[in-house]
RNA sequence: GCUGCUGUAGCUCAGUGGUAGAGCGCGUCAUUGGUAAUGACGAGGUCGGGAGUUCAAUCCUCCCCAGCAGCACCA
C-alpha cells in the first residue's frame, strides 16, 4: 500500500499502481468526471498513470485553466500530427509543442509532394475532428531507448530516430498511443482520450518553414500552426483579439493616417510623410529636453567612415556581413553603368555610433575631472539586415537611435546606471508604458575573464537593486547566456496597452571598445587610465519606437503627439470667416490646427476627422460665430462641449503641452 | 538568407488566353446641410520587372524584385 496525501491534508491508503482517476472516482462521481489530469508531487501527469509511491496528489480539472490549456494544446498537436500522417502517409513527424495561444507541429512532407500549404489545412482540420470524435484513448507506454530507435528507423522516421538516439543511453522513454494505430514519442502528460478535446475549440492558422532543431544548416520542415482552447467561446474570443490587434497594426495605421510609407526602391528605409515626421520631431524635442536635463552633450558624427576605422573597432571582422560597404572612388560615366575598379579604398556606412563617440572622446586629453562624460547622438545608422527580417517600422535598414555613451570611471558605473534607470523610468511612464527589467548574463562566446564578468554583472545588478527596481513587481529577471559578447546588459521590456511586450531600452557596460580604440583619461594619480563605456538607449530607435507608439495608442495619439491636434469644421460657408479667425488664434497659441471649410455636410466632416483620429473637432456654425464660441467634439466621445474660444485655447494648450513640461 | 503565399487605379479588392472592372478616394457641377458617408457627371491602370510559349499573354512557363506569415538573424 502507498499513502496519497490530498491538498486538503487528508490522506488515503491505496494499492500501489492506483491511478489518480481511481482516486477521483473514489472521492465522488462529479470529480471523476471533471478531473482531466493530476499533479503528483507537483508534477503534471496523466490521470491514468499509476502512482507508484507515497505522494502528494492534486487533481486537475478544467477550472485549473493554465494546466488544462497546456494539456489540451499539447493534445491538439498530437492529433494534428496523427491527422497529417493519416492523410499523407510517408510524412515524417518531428516535434510539436504547445505555444502561448495554441500549438504547432513540425513535419517533413513526403518526397512525393512539396511542403504543405494553406490549402491543405481544411482537410487536416476535418481529419483532426474525426480523430477527436473517435475519442481514442491516449495511453502511455514506457519503451527501452534502443527498441524505440529501431522502431522509428523501421517506420522511416529518421528525425525521431535521431532525436531518440541523443537521449541518454539505457534510458526508458515514454511513448503515447492514440488508440492502437498511432503513436508518438513524448514526455507527456496527456488527457485520457482525444474525446476530451473540444472539436470546435481549435483552428489551424498557418503553415511556415522551420529548421530542424532551429538550425539554419539543417533541413527545413513544414511547421503547421494552430490556435487551441478549451471551448469555442475561448477560441472566438481569441480570434476577436487577433482582429483587434490587426487593427492596431502600425503599417495599416501608418497608411491610413498618412504617417509614412515604404516602397521597394528603398526597402527597409522609411519615407516619413509630414504627419509622421511631426511625431518624430516631437519625440526628438522631448528626448533633447530629457538628455539636456540629465547632463548629456549632444553631438553629430559622420555617416561614412574609412574601413580601417571599422577594422580597428572590430566591426569589420565581426559585423561586416550587415554593413553597407562603398568604394571611395568617382564612378565612371560610361553607358554601361558604374564599374568598381577594385583599387579604391573601402568605406562603410556606420552601423553603430559607438566608435565615432570614442573618437570624440579621444580628441584632446581627458582628465578624471571630465568624467562622467555623456555623449548623445540622434545617430542615423544603416544595417543590411537579412531581407526576411524586415518588418514595417519595427525592423528597418536605416534607423536613428537615441544613442548615448557614458565614459566614466569604474567607481562611477553604479551611480550612472542608477541615474539611467531613473531617466528611463520617467520616460516610459510618460508614454503610459509599464515595463520590466532583465539582466542578460554572460554568453558562451565572450571576451574577458570570469572575474571581470562577475564584476560587470554585479555592477548592473547592484544599480538596479539600489534603484529599487529589482523586484518581481518590475518583472526583474536574469537571463543566462543572453548578454553581448563583450558585456552583460540590462534590457527594458515595455508592456503596451494590449499587453504585448517590446524590448526597447538597454544599457551595457563595455571595457572592450575603449581598449581597442585606445581611449584614456588622466587620473588623480597623473597616470593614464581606461574609462568604462556605458552604451545606452531609451527609445531604441525612433522608427521602432514610433511603430510601437502607433500600436500602443491604436493611432489615437495623446494631443501633444498628434500630428493634427484640432480641426475647425464649418457647418455652412457663412461661418468660414469665423472659422479662419478661430484657426488663426489657435495657431498663434501653438496648436497644430487645420480649418475644414469644404463644401461638405457636417456629418461627413465629423466622420472623416474621427476616422483620421484627430483629437479635437471644433464645430462652428452661425450660432458659434455670433456668440464667439466653439462646439468641441473630442475623439472617443459622442457629446459636444460648448465653450468660448479663450476657454478652448486654454484647454487645447494644456493638452498639447508635452508631459515633461506640465 | 530559407519555406510557403501574394503583387491589377492613390487605397481595398473583383476578373479574363482576344489589349480591364467595382467601392472608397480624387476633379467638376448642383446642394448651405447642426455632429460618423448629399446627389449627378468625369478623370485615372503598358495588370511588380524581364525573358519565353502562342496568331494573340494581365492570365500559362522560367528568372528577378518587393510585400506578407513563420523560421533563422537582431554583438
Q: Is the pLDDT of residue A345 over 70?
A: yes
Active-site residue (options: A383, A461, A529, A552): A383
Residue position matching grid coordinates 487645447: A652
Query: According to DSSP H, which parts of A380-507 are helical?
Result: 413-430, 450-466
A617 CB neighbours strand B below 7 A: yes
A401 carries an active-site annotation: yes
pLDDT tens figures, A518-566: 999 999 999 999 999 999 999 999 999 999 999 999 999 999 999 999 9
pLDDT tens figures, A383-397: 999 999 999 999 999
Query: According to DSSP H, which parts of A222-371 are helical?
Result: 232-247, 250-256, 274-293, 307-313, 315-318, 354-362
What is the distance between the alpha carbons of residues A387 and A552, in angstroms, rounded to a whole number?
A: 26
A285 — pLDDT class (breaks 50, 70, 90): very high
What is the distance between the alpha carbons of residues A380 and A130, in angstroms, rounded to a whole number?
A: 56
More confident residue, A484 or A280: A280
Residue position matching grid coordinates 491508503: A13
A626 CB neighbours strand B below 7 A: no
Q: How do beta strands A616-620 and A532-537 pair?
A: unpaired
A489 carries an active-site annotation: yes
Nearest nucleotide relative to A633: CA against C1'? B35
pLDDT tens figures, A398-417: 999 999 999 999 999 999 99
Q: Please state the rounded mean pLDDT for residues A21-39.
A: 90
User: For residue A649, how many C-alpha atoms fall within 13 Å in the half-sphere facing its CB?
Assistant: 15
What ipTM score was computed for the predicted complex, to two decimals? 0.95
Q: Are A350 and A370 within 8 A, CB to CB? A: no
What is the distance between the alpha carbons of residues A79 and A202, in angstroms, rounded to a whole number?
A: 11
Nearest nucleotide relative to A621: CA against C1'? B34
A400 CB neighbours strand B below 7 A: no
Q: Please state the rounded mean pLDDT for residues A408-436.
A: 95
Main-chain phi, psi angles of A392, to 5 degrees: 45, -130
Give the residue whose CA sits closest to B37 at C1': A604
A387 CB neighbours strand B below 7 A: yes
What pLDDT shows up at residue A244? 84
What pLDDT shows up at residue A337? 63
What pLDDT shows up at residue A336? 62
A573 CB neighbours strand B below 7 A: yes
Residue A430 contacts by C-beta under 8 Å, 6 or more apart in sequence?
A: A659, A660
Amino acid at each position: 500500500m502507498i499513502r496519497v496525501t490530498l491538498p486538503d491534508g487528508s490522506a488515503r491508503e491505496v494499492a500501489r499502481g492506483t491511478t489518480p482517476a481511481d482516486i477521483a472516482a473514489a472521492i465522488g462521481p462529479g470529480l471523476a468526471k471533471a478531473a482531466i489530469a493530476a499533479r503528483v508531487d507537483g508534477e503534471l501527469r496523466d490521470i491514468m498513470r499509476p502512482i507508484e509511491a507515497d505522494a502528494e496528489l492534486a487533481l486537475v480539472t478544467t477550472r485549473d485553466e493554465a494546466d488544462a490549456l497546456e494539456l489540451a494544446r499539447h493534445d491538439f498537436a498530437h492529433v494534428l500530427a496523427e491527422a497529417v500522417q493519416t492523410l499523407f502517409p510517408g510524412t515524417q513527424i518531428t516535434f510539436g509543442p504547445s505555444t502561448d495561444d495554441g500549438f504547432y507541429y513540425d513535419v517533413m512532407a513526403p518526397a512525393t509532394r512539396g511542403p504543405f500549404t494553406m490549402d491543405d489545412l481544411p482537410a487536416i482540420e476535418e481529419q483532426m475532428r474525426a480523430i477527436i470524435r473517435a475519442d481514442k484513448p491516449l495511453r502511455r507506454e514506457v519503451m527501452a531507448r534502443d527498441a524505440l530507435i529501431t522502431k522509428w528507423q523501421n517506420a522511416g522516421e529518421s528525425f525521431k530516430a535521431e532525436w531518440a538516439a541523443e537521449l541518454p543511453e539505457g534510458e526508458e522513454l515514454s511513448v503515447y498511443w492514440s488508440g492502437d494505430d498511432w503513436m508518438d514519442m513524448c514526455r507527456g502528460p496527456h488527457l485520457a482520450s482525444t474525446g476530451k478535446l473540444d472539436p470546435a475549440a481549435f483552428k489551424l492558422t498557418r503553415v511556415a518553414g522551420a529548421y530542424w532543431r532551429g538550425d539554419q544548416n539543417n533541413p527545413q520542415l513544414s511547421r503547421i500552426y494552430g490556435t487551441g482552447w478549451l471551448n469555442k467561446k475561448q477560441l472566438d474570443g481569441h480570434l476577436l483579439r487577433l482582429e483587434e490587434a490587426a487593427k492596431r497594426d502600425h503599417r495599416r495605421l501608418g497608411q491610413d493616417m498618412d504617417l509614412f510609407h515604404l516602397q521597394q526602391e528603398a526597402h527597409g528605409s522609411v519615407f516619413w510623410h509630414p504627419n509622421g515626421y511631426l511625431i518624430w520631431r516631437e519625440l526628438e524635442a522631448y528626448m533633447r529636453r530629457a538628455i539636456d536635463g540629465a547632463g548629456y552633450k549632444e553631438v553629430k558624427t559622420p555617416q561614412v567612415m574609412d574601413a580601417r576605422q571599422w577594422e580597428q573597432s572590430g566591426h569589420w571582422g565581426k559585423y561586416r556581413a550587415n554593413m553597407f560597404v562603398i568604394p571611395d572612388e568617382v564612378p565612371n560615366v560610361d553607358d554601361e553603368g558604374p564599374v568598381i575598379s577594385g583599387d579604391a579604398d573601402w568605406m562603410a556606412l556606420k552601423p553603430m555610433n559607438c566608435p565615432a563617440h570614442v573618437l570624440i572622446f579621444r580628441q584632446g586629453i581627458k582628465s578624471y575631472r571630465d568624467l562622467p562624460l555623456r555623449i548623445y547622438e540622434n545617430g542615423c545608422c544603416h544595417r543590411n539586415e537579412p531581407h526576411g527580417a524586415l518588418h514595417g517600422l519595427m525592423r528597418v535598414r536605416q534607423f536613428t537611435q537615441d544613442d548615448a555613451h557614458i565614459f566614466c570611471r569604474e567607481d562611477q558605473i553604479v551611480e550612472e546606471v542608477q541615474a539611467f534607470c531613473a531617466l528611463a523610468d520617467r520616460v516610459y511612464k510618460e508614454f503610459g508604458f509599464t515595463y520590466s527589467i532583465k539582466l542578460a548574463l554572460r554568453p558562451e562566446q565572450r571576451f574577458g575573464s570570469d572575474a571581470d564578468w562577475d564584476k560587470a554583472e554585479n555592477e548592473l545588478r547592484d544599480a538596479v537593486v539600489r534603484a529599487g527596481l529589482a523586484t518581481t513587481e518590475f518583472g526583474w529577471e536574469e537571463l543566462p547566456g543572453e548578454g553581448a559578447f563583450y558585456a552583460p546588459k540590462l534590457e527594458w521590456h515595455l508592456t503596451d496597452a494590449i499587453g504585448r511586450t517590446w524590448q526597447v531600452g538597454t544599457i551595457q557596460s563595455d571595457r572592450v571598445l575603449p581598449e581597442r580604440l585606445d581611449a584614456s583619461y588622466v587620473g588623480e594619480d597623473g597616470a593614464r587610465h581606461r574609462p568604462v563605456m556605458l552604451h545606452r538607449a531609451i527609445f531604441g530607435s525612433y522608427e521602432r519606437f514610433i511603430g510601437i507608439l502607433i500600436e500602443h495608442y491604436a493611432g489615437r495619439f495623446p494631443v501633444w503627439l498628434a500630428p493634427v491636434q484640432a480641426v475647425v469644421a464649418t457647418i455652412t460657408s457663412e461661418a468660414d470667416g469665423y472659422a479662419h479667425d478661430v484657426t488663426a488664434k489657435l495657431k498663434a497659441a501653438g496648436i497644430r490646427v487645420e480649418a475644414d471649410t469644404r463644401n461638405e455636410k457636417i456629418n461627413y466632416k465629423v466622420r472623416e476627422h474621427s476616422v483620421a483620429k484627430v483629437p479635437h473637432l471644433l464645430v462652428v456654425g452661425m450660432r458659434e460665430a455670433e456668440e464667439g464660441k466653439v462646439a468641441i467634439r473630442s475623439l472617443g466621445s459622442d457629446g459636444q462641449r460648448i465653450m468660448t474660444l479663450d476657454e478652448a485655447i486654454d484647454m487645447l494648450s494644456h493638452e498639447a503641452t508635452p508631459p515633461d513640461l506640465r
